[in-house]
Amino acid sequence: MSNEPTVKRWTAKRKAAVVMDIFKGKTTLAEVARQHDLIVSEVESWVDDAKRSMESGFKARPKDIREHYEPELRETKEALGEAHLQIYVLKKSSACWTRTRTRKFAAGATR
């Protein structure tokens, strides 16, 4: 084991620093795993995640993606609101119809 303190929680920032060291050739997967008492496959998964994130980062900026989906999100929210309102009205009208029918039945039964 090394003299470095044991890391109890691997934050994204810590993982990124380790992965950058691997990318720069300062260390290897095996060395990182050995130094921090990790499984090599775990460190490999960090590297794979970083590669995927970098690739998507080059495809489009998050701001562009947000602008692309905002109109669709707005339409979806409006449709959801309309559906919610329709359900509310149907429930209220059903409850009202049931009360009216129950009163008529009760009035006819007492006669």
Domain residue ranges of the chain, discontinuous segments joined by +: 1-59, 61-111
- Tell me 24's DSSP state: H
Q: Is 27 helix (H, G, I), strand (E, B) or coil?
A: coil
* Mean predicted confidence (pLDDT) in 49-67: 77
When mean pLDDT is compared across 10-19, 83-92, 97-106, the lowest value belongs to 97-106
- Is 1-59 assigned to CATH 1.10.10? yes
The percentage of residues in the chain with a pLDDT greater than 90, rounded to a whole number, is: 52
Phi (first) and psi of residue 77, to 5 degrees: -65, -40
Count Cβ atoms below 10 Å from residue 43 Cβ, excluding itself: 22
- The band of 105, judged by pLDDT with boundaries at 50, 70 and 90, is low
Q: State residue 8's pLDDT score.
A: 72
**pTM, full prediction:** 0.48
pLDDT tens digits, 18-45: 999 999 999 999 999 999 999 999 999 9
- Output the CA–CA distances (angstroms, integers) from residue 42 to 64, 82, 97, 100, in the order listed: 32, 46, 61, 65
Euclidean distance between CA atoms 59 and 66, whole angstroms: 14
